[in-house]
Amino acid sequence: MKKVFSVTLLSFALILSSLFGNAFNAEAAVTSQKVITEAKKLIGTPYKFGGTTPKGFDCSGFVYYTYKKAGKTLPRSSASMYQTGKKVHKSNLRPGDLVFFTTYKKGASHVAIYIGNNSIIHATSSKGVKIDNLNNSYWKPKFIGAKRVL
Q: Is-catalytic flag, 122? A: yes
CA 23, 26, 32, 38: dihedral to nearest 10 degrees? Answer: -90
> Among this protein's residues, is 110 annotated catalytic?
yes
Catalytic, 59? Answer: yes
CA distance 95 to 74: 17
Q: Which of 34, 110, 147, 148 is catalytic?
A: 110
- Residue 135 CA, distance from chain mean position: 18
- Rounded to whole angstroms, the Cα distance separating 150 from 134 reads 20
Given the residues 36, 39, 42, 59, the one annotated as active site: 59
Residue 53 forms beta bridges with which residues?
56
**Which one is catalytic: 122, 139, 146, 147?**
122
Euclidean distance between CA atoms 95 and 113, whole angstroms: 8
Q: What DSSP string describes 79-125?
A: HHHHTSSEEE-GGG--TT-EEEE--SSSSS-EEEEEEETTEEEEEET
Catalytic positions are 59, 110, 122
